[in-house]
Amino acid sequence: MPHITIESGKLTDEQKRTLVERLTAVSSEVMKIPPEFYSITIHEIDDASYGIGGKCIDLVKQEYMEKHS
Amino acid sequence: MPHITIESGKLTDEQKRTLVERLTAVSSEVMKIPPEFYSITIHEIDDASYGIGGKCIDLVKQEYMEKHS
Amino acid sequence: MPHITIESGKLTDEQKRTLVERLTAVSSEVMKIPPEFYSITIHEIDDASYGIGGKCIDLVKQEYMEKHS
Amino acid sequence: MPHITIESGKLTDEQKRTLVERLTAVSSEVMKIPPEFYSITIHEIDDASYGIGGKCIDLVKQEYMEKHS
Amino acid sequence: MPHITIESGKLTDEQKRTLVERLTAVSSEVMKIPPEFYSITIHEIDDASYGIGGKCIDLVKQEYMEKHS
Amino acid sequence: MPHITIESGKLTDEQKRTLVERLTAVSSEVMKIPPEFYSITIHEIDDASYGIGGKCIDLVKQEYMEKHS
């Protein structure tokens, strides 16, 4: 306890390490619970499986590229 | 806000686009919240990792095939 | 299978019934899986526990009211 | 690690204790990970917020009572 | 995108505001995604519904108090 | 209803089958709900995406190996 779940796009291992370290530190400080009690899972969702405002992100990116190429 | 998570089997990109589009439209209409506020994530779970009624779906499908071949 | 989770603000029972009915119908049609296989859970999150763009929604609403009163 | 989430109807504290104890024991045995590494959260969802086969459970129960009263 | 879910014990509104603000800022910096794209939900789980190492936290706290009173 | 989600490391198909079978049986017995109502999803999270106490598990394992080699 507590458990934090992150749904995001593709991340590098370096980004994941920094996120786990710093999100744990901030949460521990704010909740006054020792860091060792925290667990964090990162779910990398590909663009075709992530929708924002009714559109999948791969489509949003594709349209952006077509408009700006 | 709001955030919708879907756990399902393998889907085509076309199915995902249609789901994101239509689930956002229906939710937006019912909740009276503009579509751009919605996020949807789709987690494709393979059959060996999805259990129904105490059995993994790959096993259910396998037994079905054996019974009907 | 499949399972859909909705995190939203407070909803009426009528809204929940319509959401469950129509999201199941749309998903069933798109995924070609009979409706009886679907489960949907709705998590009503209060404004103070839902953050958008780094701010809790109760604060966003409060600031909006102050600005427009 | 690992983390188990349960979405269910209303449970007694006694049921929750037994679930946490026995699900941890079974998972620990099968995964060969010491029990102290496990965390379990139970989300009690009321019937009006849980849909099965396109219908909220409060409605399913209501119809059942009407039919059998 | 991205979406962060926190399962924790009871928190004050002040703690929630600080968490939402600072977790969004850290994630935005590390992932290089503007803060306005982030959504965070906080699920406050009561002690009787949160298990660690096979025991519900209300029981853990109760035993601690008995031992140290 | 109910729905159980497991976030864990890599598991064999055999482990997944046993988990689905036995977790469903235990939950069904404790909650007094027939097993066929249960659904379980297993999310296998790689070590670089799972943080415990502020550190990703791949790093924890790496440091352990260096210390004990």
Given pLDDT bands bounded at 50, 70 and 90, which one contains residue F18?
very high
Spatial contact of F41 and B50, defined as CB atoms under 8 Å apart: yes
Nearest neighbour of D39 by CB, restricted to E43, E52, E59: E52
Q: What is the 3-state secondary structure (H, E, C) of C1-69?
A: CCEEEEEECCCCHHHHHHHHHHHHHHHHHHHCCCHHHCEEEEEECCHHHEEECCEEHHHHHHHHHHHHC
Which residues, 6+ apart, have CB-to-CB distance to A34 below 8 Å? Answer: A28
Residue D1 has pLDDT above 80, yes or no: no
- Closest CA–CA distance from residue C43 to any residue of chain B (Å): 10
Structural domain boundaries, residue D23: 3-68
Residue D5 half-sphere exposure toward CB, CA atoms < 13 A:
22
Chains touching E (3+ CB pairs < 8 Å): A, B, C, D
Spatial contact of E40 and D9, defined as CB atoms under 8 Å apart: no
Q: How far apart are CA A36 and CA A39, in angstroms?
A: 8
F21-36 mean pLDDT:
97
> Which pLDDT score, from 0 to 100, does residue E68 have?
84
Spatial contact of C53 and E38, defined as CB atoms under 8 Å apart: yes
User: Is E41 at the interface with chain B, CB within 8 A?
Assistant: yes
Please name every residue paired with E4 in a beta bridge, in sequence order, or none if there are none: A6, E40
Number of H helices, E strands in chain D: 2, 4
> Which pLDDT score, from 0 to 100, does residue D45 have?
97
pLDDT digits (tens, 9 = 90+) for D48-69: 999 999 999 999 999 988 888 7
Per residue of chain E (69 residues), give pLDDT as tens: 799 999 999 999 999 999 999 999 999 999 999 999 999 999 999 999 999 999 999 999 999 888 887
User: Which chain C residues touch B43 with a CB distance below 8 Å?
Assistant: none
Q: How far apart are CA C23 and CA C4, in angstroms?
A: 9
Q: How far is CA C23 from the centre of its chain?
A: 11
> Which pLDDT score, from 0 to 100, does residue A69 have?
79
User: Is D20 at the interface with chain F, CB within 8 A?
Assistant: no
Nearest neighbour of E53 by CB, restricted to D16, D38, D43: D38
- Closest CA–CA distance from residue C57 to any residue of chain E (Å): 10
pLDDT digits (tens, 9 = 90+) for B19-59: 999 999 999 999 999 999 999 999 999 999 999 999 999 99
> Which pLDDT score, from 0 to 100, does residue A35 have?
97
Nearest neighbour of A1 by CB, restricted to E2, E31, E57: E57
Q: How far apart are CA C24 and CA D51, in angstroms?
A: 9
What CATH number has the domain bearing residue A62?
3.30.429.10
Number of domains observed in the structure of chain D: 1
> Which pLDDT score, from 0 to 100, does residue F23 have?
98
Asked if B3 and E3 come within 8 Å (Cβ–Cβ), the reply is yes
Q: Where are the beta strands (DSSP E) in chain D?
A: 3-8, 39-44, 50-52, 55-56
ipTM above 0.90, yes or no: yes
Does chain F touch chain C (at least 3 C-beta pairs within 8 Å)? yes
**Collapsing DSSP states into helix, strand and coil, what is residue A34?**
coil
Given pLDDT bands bounded at 50, 70 and 90, which one contains residue A46?
very high
Residue A68 has pLDDT above 90, yes or no: no
User: CA torsion angle for C5, C10, C15, C17 (degrees, to 10)?
Assistant: 50
Residue B11 has pLDDT above 80, yes or no: yes
pLDDT digits (tens, 9 = 90+) for C31-66: 999 999 999 999 999 999 999 999 999 999 999 888
- Closest CA–CA distance from residue F1 to any residue of chain C (Å): 7
D5-32 mean pLDDT:
98
User: Which chain F residues touch B47 with a CB distance below 8 Å?
Assistant: none
> Which pLDDT score, from 0 to 100, does residue B34 have?
96
Respond yes or no on whether the N-terminal peptide bond of residue F2 is cis (omega within 30° of 0). yes
